[in-house]
Amino acid sequence: MVRVGIVDRNRCKPKDCHKECYRYCPPVRIGNEAITFDPQTGQAIISEQLCQGTGICVKKCPFKAIRIINLPEELERDLTHRYGPNTFKLYRLPIPQFERVTGLIGPNGVGKTTALRILAGEIRPNLGEYGNPPDWDSIIRHYRGSELQPYFEKISNGELRVVHKPQNITRLPEVVKGVVGELLERVDERGIMKKLAEELELKSLWDRELRVLSGGELQRVAIAATIARDANVYLFDEPSSYEDIYQRLNIARAIRKLADEKKTVICIEHDLALVDYLSDAVCMFYGTPGVYGVVSHPHGVREGINIYLDGFLPDENLRFRAEPIRFHTSPTPSGGWESQEILLKFGYMKKSYNGFSLEVKGGEIHRGEVIGIIGPNGIGKTTFIKLLAGEIQPDEGQPVERKIKISYKPQYLRADYDGEVQTLLKEAGGNRATSSEFRSDVLKPLELEGLLDRSVKDLSGGELQSVAIAACLAREADVYLLDEPSAFLSSEQRLIMARTVRRVIEKWLSAAFIVEHDIIGVDSLSDSLMVFSGIPGVRGEASRPTDLRTGMNNFLKGLNITFRRDPENGRPRINKENSRLDRLQKEQGEYYYVPLTKE
């Protein structure tokens, strides 16, 4: 076995712990220094040649700064890149495929962005030799006989042009300044910007400064700038972030066209329905976040996503998840909710501000019910949630009666809390947040047990989202309001989050309204649905809560797309436009999926 020792540099404080890990390490006690300390930083470094993997240092470290993971020995042959001693390791790389879109799926922190940066030529793979990195000739020899050999030859010779849309687009205005139209016309090397601006709905942004754009608007501008360049390979890192389902489909269609134009495309994406829709093949990433990541061999898109959900790689005889993920396929039939106990009832409401108006028709939610809220950005979903929470009052109609307890997780998260995660949860939920029941029902599935002593300010976007969800669920409430809980979460984390929220609502006999853009997330979470329609930024209209099938049919009909169910696990899959099944379902009026009675 190969042992990977990881020391968290932010947590390691040898001056405060008197080097407990060093004192109790067996090899050190017999004269071999398996744990040494950097003379400049004073932080621990683990010798992977001498480490015996006893785990004593892990137990003795008071700051939980050390992790030791055992890996299958054969993976050492496939080591692609390592950042330094006791740091993250990436094994293998995705294979770029000509005229095809390859989707990359997997949890956060297992090397997807690192792999994309290597393929973009931004990072030269060091094959684990971080102290003496190999030159291009050595790298090419290492990959001889594989499809990566000619790829790296062309990268090293400058014969391959690669364009990369990075993950973090919020810092784009710090790097590039100016008006959207002028910037996009400047990079239009293929002469397609006029058509692209229509497809991605950028005309309304044409005369605006880049610095005033929202996250979704910045995302579409970055994607347009990437597609408009003349390159051989196009790399997209999370292109659907900040976007609603309408824009996600527009983006997927634009990316899909690149493959039709004989380009090579690789895309990291967490929305599994979108991965299925735009990809020809997928590569899965698995491992331990922040410690190591392994890239699977490519699979067909349906087979690959199903393998990922099942958690077992048959071609490598490897299980990377304890339990498979399955989907419920029987939405509540038309005719009402089974529970007769109404927790919250709201009537007609209207709210107007800054040239926008929202009209809510009214409705009710029952004990044990989860109502999904779906619609485009700028249509009033967050305004409705704030009306329910009592943060704002309607201009017309009656305010929501506050006879019950409500817990609210807002859309935008703040990381300015001055304290640790466990303190934040305790302040939110009191003794409930420290109970064994809450730990097993919420903290464990959301993988927050290892973050309890972390400062909230040091959390990543995904970690902060999980903490915000846990804090919302920690409060004793009758109705929970969660605004976009899947943002910044990986595809696996989204599905686990959905199961966690549903389990809590059912177990504690409460109810929830959840705003969501991920179709699979909506399907996994919801019993009923509220569909928001109108003109984004001008007016919005909220329908009454309806059963999931009726709501999804109305919503998908507006998108002009149809879904089917995968026979293996029941996950929703988007039908190819104009396919036989797409035409058949539209004729039947079953945009969501064809019921078993009709199949």
Q: How much of the chain, in percent, has pLDDT values that exceed 70?
A: 94
Give the pLDDT of residue 71. 61
Give the pLDDT of residue 595. 66
Angle between helix axes 215-227 and 245-260 (nearest 10 degrees) is 10
Q: How much of the chain, in percent, has pLDDT values that exceed 90?
A: 57
Please state, in angstroms and rounded to a whole number, the distance separating the CA atoms of residues 425 and 407.
Answer: 13
Give the pLDDT of residue 338. 57
Tell me which CATH code domain 2-71 carries.
3.30.70.20
| 3-state SS string for 116-178 | HHHHCCCCCCCCCCCCCCCCHHHHHHHCCCCCHHHHHHHHHHCCCCEEEECCCCCCHHHHCCC
Best CATH choice for the domain 342-547 from the list 3.30.110.40, 3.40.50.300, 3.30.200.20, 3.30.379.10:
3.40.50.300
Fold of 82-302: Rossmann fold (3.40.50)
User: Computed from CA positions of residues 187, 189, 194, 195, in that sequence, does the dihedral angle turn out positive or negative?
Assistant: negative
Mean pLDDT, rounded, for 49-77:
72
Instruction: Say which residue the tokens 């919302």 belong to.
Output: 472
pLDDT band at 329 (very low <50, low <70, confident <90, very high): low
Residue 430 DSSP symbol: G
State pLDDT tens for residues 394-443.
Answer: 999 988 877 889 999 988 777 778 889 999 999 999 999 999 999 999 99
User: Does the pLDDT of residue 596 top 70, yes or no?
Assistant: no
Mean pLDDT, rounded, for 208-220:
90
| 3-state SS string for 343-368 | EEEECCEEEEECCEEEEECCEEEECC
H or E stretch at 572: strand 572-574
Q: CATH 3.40.50.300 in the chain, residues? A: 82-302, 342-547
Q: For residues 81-113, b (16+ Cβ closer than 10 Å) or e, as one string?
A: bbeebbbbbbbbbbbbbeeebbbbbbbbbbbbb
Mean pLDDT, rounded, for 34-63:
77
Nearest 5°: the CA angle 514, 519, 525 is 40
Residue 110 DSSP symbol: S
Q: Find the range with the poorest average confidence among 11-15, 285-289, 407-411.
A: 11-15
User: Does the pLDDT of residue 199 top 50, yes or no?
Assistant: yes
User: Does the pLDDT of residue 165 top 90, yes or no?
Assistant: yes
State pLDDT tens for residues 580-592.
Answer: 999 999 999 999 8
Q: Where are the alpha helices (DSSP H) in 444-561?
A: 461-474, 491-507, 519-525, 548-559
Q: CATH 3.30.70.20 in the chain, residues? A: 2-71
Beta strands in 238-327 (DSSP E): 264-268, 281-288, 292-295, 299-300, 312-313, 318-319
State pLDDT tens for residues 89-132.
Answer: 999 999 999 999 999 999 988 999 999 999 999 999 999 999 89
CA proximity to 360, closest of 404, 398, 405: 398
State pLDDT tens for residues 487-500.
Answer: 889 888 998 999 99
Q: What is the value of pTM for the model shown?
A: 0.82
Cross-strand bridge partners of residue 240: none
Q: For residues 441-464, b (16+ Cβ closer than 10 Å) or e, as one string?
A: bbbebbebeebbebebeebeebbb
Residue 432 DSSP symbol: G
pLDDT averaged over every residue in the chain? 88
